[in-house]
Copies of this chain bind each other. A is one copy, B any other.
């Protein structure tokens, strides 16, 4: 493969991409009213508390170069603690775009992040997988690729995500290469880069360059990567080292305080949200100091700790309140917002898991979240990716696609002629109106059972997890991957082989 051939292919791809209209995207749009929990005055009060945290209490950054950058850009640095001037920090935050496009290798799958757009991505991070037949076990590369494939096959997931599981059968120091490669190889949806270190982030950027070309990804990001803040008030060296790489390469990031109230923040919702807002703004301002205009998403991963067991609790009323308030703050800052997910504390795909998941996900929809990481597959507080949970969660995502279409109030929808045509006590099954509209009238799930109890018993009295088990297996059997240009594929494999020779284990 020559550089010229690659460049030609990229040019062809960009051309196709240019003709790709936004309406071809399957991303739902927020056109419904937003649920505004907090008054403008209340929001201002929270934000003022955040500015006090930023200006007087300070945020720690564990990276000398970053401390120098912050000092150069007007922040006050004392040791590793940084104090931000309220006006100045908000000027940097204002440099981030309110929406941007992330490239996918199939341009029809490019996603718009921010503005009115919704993007659903799968679970991120679990070292374990669960399925009904094999139970809970350590995840492997095969599991990673399976989840990438299931994500590819779902019409309701717009994004391939990142560490959909930790492939624990691979060496720690090089597995980021296999993960990025698997996203590219087995899907053509957009994906996330590695954040485990600066060099790993650089590998992610390099592989994106091989796929898209360096010029293309300088123009529009090909990676959206998850920079977690080690709350309270701390950005660690690994995350900062990745952040610098991505900001300089103008690749998008999600700056996410990871907060369990009661552990990493006060037990109060308001205090948690004030701290979360301060931390997110600090990280976001840093990205803009390094490279103004770098696309960045305001993230909020928040729930509370169970004060008895010390474990995180998902779907709690406190986290719902925090989610609504955080979304409003992100909108106030005019930034894309990431939150929500099908979170569950449950270890299996039982009633608890489902109650918890909708308790988080539906508020996320009404709060106008732009990017939902963990939109499918999350179990056990994020320690496990569940195969059955994954396909069941996707059913709910389908419902949200329909919900977000909103209420048609046209005369056709008001259907007075049809109401007139059916006699009192009659029925609308098979009316002209029904025949004209039934195909699009109701969203239909595949995995939910609406049969009579008798029929359900006859068919084996299968619970939702059992039906989902059969479904995910069938989906994986049916999987046919999107073609990957053999030259691109070879270039990626070459790069990985070279890097696997170069990278030394850390210990």
Contact = CB atoms under 8 A, between A and B. Distances in A.
A67 to B, nearest CB: 13
From A58, A392, A451, residue with most partner B Cβ within 10 Å? A451
A350 interface: yes
Chain A, interface residues (CB within 8 Å), range: 35 or more
Contacts of A424: 58-60, 81, 232-234
Nearest to A363: B362
Nearest to A234: B424
Given A262-B428, A318-B402, A418-B266, A42 B407 contact: yes
Interface string A416-428: 1011101111111
Interface string A28-46: 0000110111100010011
A429 interface: yes
A408 interface: yes
Contact of A453 (B353, B380, B414): B380
A493 B304 CA distance: 51
A359 B356 contact: no
A311 interface: yes
A415 interface: yes
This chain: copies in complex: 2
A245 interface: no
A71 interface: no
A268 interface: yes
A24 to B, nearest CB: 22
A351 interface: yes
Contacts of A234: 424-425
A141 to B, nearest CB: 22
A465 B463 CA distance: 12
From A45, A265, A270, A354, residue with most partner B Cβ within 10 Å? A354
A304 B441 contact: yes
Given A46-B409, A348-B463, A463-B351, A429 B262 contact: yes
A313 B359 contact: no
A419 B57 contact: yes
B266 A434 contact: yes
A187 interface: no
A172 interface: no
B465 A425 contact: no
Secondary structure call for the A interface: mixed
Contacts of A347: 449, 453, 456, 461
Contacts of A389: 351
Contacts of A507: none
Contacts of A60: 424-425
Contacts of A251: none
Nearest to A406: B321
Contact of A451 (B57, B59, B309, B384): B309
A94 interface: no
A267 interface: yes
Contacts of A268: 408, 412-415, 433, 437, 441
Contacts of A307: 429, 438, 441-442
Nearest to A383: B453
Interface string A298-311: 00000011111111
A64 B441 CA distance: 38
Contacts of A320: 403
B359 A359 contact: no
A431 to B, nearest CB: 8
A265 to B, nearest CB: 6
Contacts of A441: 261-262, 267-268, 304, 307, 318
19 contacts: A233-B419, A261-B442, A264-B427, A265-B428, A267-B433, A269-B407, A270-B409, A270-B413, A316-B399, A321-B406, A321-B407, A346-B449, A351-B351, A351-B392, A354-B354, A355-B358, A355-B392, A355-B396, A359-B399
Given A58-B424, A354-B355, 6 more contacts: A232-B424, A266-B431, A268-B414, A308-B444, A346-B449, A383-B453
Interface of A: 32-33, 35-38, 42, 45-46, 49, 52-53, 56-60, 81, 128, 136, 230, 232-234, 261-271, 274-275, 304-313, 315-318, 320-321, 325, 345-359, 362-363, 366, 380-381, 383-384, 389, 392, 395-396, 399-400, 402-403, 406-410, 412-416, 418-420, 422-429, 431, 433-434, 437-438, 441-444, 447-453, 456, 461, 463-465, 468
